[in-house]
Structure 1
Amino acid sequence: MSNYQTLLMAVDLSEDSHAVAAKAAALRDAYGATLHIIHVIEPLSFAYGGDIPMDFSGIQEEIHQQARTQLTAFGEKYGVTEANRHIVLGRPEVEIHALGEELGVDLVVVGSHGRYGLALLMGSTANGVLHGATCDVLAVRVGS
């Protein structure tokens, strides 16, 4: 096993994120590594495909503010400094890869629901991260 120096945990800030954080924090402590957290907010325009002629900027800002508050508490709980907490707007797998490369990450830690069948074909963040990663990826089983 590699001696990991820089870890990136990707969280959606749900209850399942605590299982991911516990694994990532344990690895950080075991290797004396630096731990970063990323939370990706998908733009509302992605969800609605621009089909609804409406300005989502106020709602999007509210979502961003709530995520910032939650990520602050989450990061403090797991001993991740403010400088290592990242909130970005975009597609999760794309933004996780981009930040991972920017930071020179050795390991990305994500949650996986272990979906199969149609849910797997539709794709998941963990699957997207795994297939485009330039480093190791640990998929932590959550929500079983």
Structure 2
Amino acid sequence: MSYHHILVAVDLTKDSHKVLERAIVIAERNNGAKISIMHTLEPLGFAYGGDIPMDLTSIQDQLDEHAKQRLAEIATPHIDKADQHVVVGMPDTEIHRFADEHNVDLIVVGSHGRHGFALLLGSTSTGVLHGAQCDVLAVRVGKKGESSDE
């Protein structure tokens, strides 16, 4: 099987570079397959519920801008700006939507060790795996007992 379009879904932690590096190797082995990279921001309304009587638009915009800058740091020079995407929504849903709309044939995600089935993949990776219409590669990141957050 050869891949033509690879989607790298990252969480913007320091381990995101490892996930991208794995995708780059796969792309090179597949005649320079296209790589897109994305990060999904959960809407603040989900995080805080509808109980806060305030406009969170400016805060969401700031988070979006910060995520775009961080994604560019990770992706540049490997991925063109036009193929760097920050979207707002639930991660697994947005990853599936993007993959379907852009004919992605491989999704590459990072996998942090957790507990239960999520121990194997992580909750986002598990959600991506279960709903994907294409192949999914979960790249093991972080070491046991090591935090992947910056």
Give the TM-score of the pair, scaled to structure 1.
0.91
Counterpart-to-counterpart distance in 1, 2:28 and 2:107: 15
Counterpart-to-counterpart distance in 1, 2:19 and 2:124: 14
Which residue pairs with 1:3 in the alignment? 2
- Confirm or deny that 1:36 pairs with 2:44: no
Cα offset for 1:117? Answer: 3.1
Uncovered stretches (5+) of structure 1, i.e. residues with no partner:
none
Counterpart-to-counterpart distance in 2, 1:117 and 1:82: 37
Counterpart-to-counterpart distance in 1, 2:130 and 2:43: 23
Instruction: Please give the residue correspondences for 1:38-53 in structure 2 after superposition, counting only pairs within 5 Å.
Output: 38-53=38-53
Cα deviations by residue, 1:17-63 (Å, 9 ceiling, x for unpaired): 11111101111111120000011111111111112222111111110
Which residue pairs with 1:14 in the alignment? 13
Cα offset for 1:119? Answer: 5.7
SS of the residue aligned with 1:49?
helix
Give the TM-score of the pair, scaled to structure 2.
0.88
Which residue pairs with 1:127 in the alignment? 126
Counterpart-to-counterpart distance in 1, 2:19 and 2:75: 12
Identity across the alignment (%): 51
SS of the residue aligned with 1:4?
coil
Cα offset for 1:141? Answer: 0.7
Cα offset for 1:118? Answer: 8.7
SS of the residue aligned with 2:12?
coil
Cα offset for 1:65? Answer: 0.8
Q: Is the 8 A contact 2:37 2:83 kept in 1?
A: yes
Which residue pairs with 2:147 in the alignment? none
Aligned residues: 140
CA spacing shift, 1:118–1:131, aligned 2, 3 Å: closer
